[in-house]
Amino acid sequence: MQRRYLGLTAAVAALTTAISVSGCGSVGGAGDVTLRLVAADYNLDGGDGTKKYWQDLAEKFEEKNPGIKVDVEIQSWNDVDRKVGEMVKAGKAPDLAQIGAYADYASDNKLYSAAEMLSIPTQANFLDSLAEDGKVHRVQYGMPFVGSTRQLFYNSTLFEKAGITEAPTTWKELAADAKKLKEDGVATPFALPLGPEEAQAETLNWMLAGGSGYVDEIGTYTLNSSDNIDAFEFLKNSLVTPGLTGPVAPGKLNRKAAFEAFAKGQVGMLNGHPSLMQQAEKNGVKYEMAPLPTPDGKKRPSMGVADWMMGFKQNGHRKEMGKFLDFVYSDANVIAFADRFDLLPVTLTASQKMASDSKHQKVRKFLQALPSSVSYPVSKTSWAKVSESIKQQIGTAVEPSNTPAGVLGVLSREAAALDSATQ
């Protein structure tokens, strides 16, 4: 089901109690083992920051825990979920995977629960709603790793040149502003990345803005709701067909390429997460942020996303994995990763520290959006396959030869069938 992010205050009190009760935690001991971790690449510019973070962290952990080695493999977001799936299918599951979905593995009894690995203070420190999103049949298997929300980014220099004085608040205004940008020579007035890298995120942005989402209040897939069809009719008829989404077809445009183009000053507007700020600032691109416009200008929840850590049972390294994860989720390491990539922490204490630190003022808009944001239906065991179908097919909904209703109808029927098969 869709879940809302909750505030921090009450949960901090619960955390304090948990720490006082737990003492040193519930996991310990180490064997002469090597833990294999497959993790996603968060670099937007082709650098090696993700690899360096994990290598440094692994070295520090190994110094404190003789006998446990950590072997890290970094994969792009285009490939990481598929690669892990192939490993698991081949009987060569990694010990730990930091990817986009966990529930199907939990349903197949391939994962340790969070309680089987983590110390009580570590498990109690996750943001409440994210911990809930990590549960299948009321047991937490998915451990949130990092979070983000979305804002509309717009190039303030290009806006000024085109005579646009403020951010659009309605879809009609957004289309009108995109037209002005095109008339002023902007190659990509609005970047619409519906390519396979992260199409499920861009899709949810528009569905939420339109008043719907992937599922209803009881968790039933609603991909072809009238609101969702209207959202994609707007994208096709008001942005794509008039040529306002640039030279690359939305179904071929990936998020990374869209972000790179924005950071080079070539894009007027797009939906972005916190890490785009750093990328744009490196190139001296001036930008502003605003909530994603809606059909009527009324504010609606934005998308909130958590990426997931999970521990596989296959190699039996439960205690060693727990020791490593307790280290991964220490405040210093959580904040270091979030700070490096301009993302949001997923633990209570790290979130509080970031919110109160003037150094992180730029991400406060995203932190403020957390309480009302809506995430993917990640606790549904069908979500991984549904998400993959969306990544591969949703871009065709705005192509000239297709209709949004037709494509969303196909996706909705596939989702319902997958959901039924995994009950």
Domain segments of the chain: what residues? 10-148+306-372, 150-303+379-421
**Whether pLDDT at 24 is above 80:** no
pLDDT one-digit tens code per residue, 301-323: 889 888 999 999 999 999 999 99
**Whether pLDDT at 200 is above 90:** yes
Give 235's DSSP letter: I
234 pLDDT tier (thresholds 50, 70, 90): very high
Q: How confident is the model at residue 298, as a pLDDT?
A: 94
**Whether pLDDT at 13 is above 80:** no
Give the tokens for residue 255.
């998020």
Distances in whole angstroms, Cα of residue 25 to Cα of each of 29, 33, 308, 326:
12, 21, 22, 9
End-to-end CA distance of the chain: 14
* Percent of the chain clearing pLDDT 70 (strictly above): 91
In this structure, how many other beta carbons lie within 10 angstroms of the beta carbon of residue 264?
Answer: 12
What average pLDDT does the segment 196-213 reach?
96
pLDDT one-digit tens code per residue, 118-132: 999 999 999 888 888
Q: How confident is the model at residue 17, as a pLDDT?
A: 43
Q: Of 293-297, 353-357, 403-407, which range is least confident?
A: 353-357
What average pLDDT does the segment 220-225 reach?
97
150-303+379-421 falls under which CATH superfamily?
A: Periplasmic binding protein-like II (3.40.190.10)
**Whether pLDDT at 11 is above 50:** no
Asked if 89 and 314 touch (Cβ cutoff 8 Å), the reply is: no
371 pLDDT tier (thresholds 50, 70, 90): low
Asked if 375 and 2 touch (Cβ cutoff 8 Å), the reply is: yes
**Whether pLDDT at 30 is above 80:** no
| 10-148+306-372 and 150-303+379-421 agree in CATH topology | yes
Average pLDDT, the chain: 90
Residue whose entry in the numeric block shows the structure tokens 């909904």: 397
**What is the fold of 10-148+306-372?**
D-Maltodextrin-Binding Protein; domain 2 (3.40.190)
Q: Of 92-101, 284-293, 374-383, which range is least confident?
A: 374-383
In this structure, how many other beta carbons lie within 10 angstroms of the beta carbon of residue 179?
Answer: 17
pTM: 0.77
Beta strands in 219-283 (DSSP E): 267-272
243 pLDDT tier (thresholds 50, 70, 90): very high
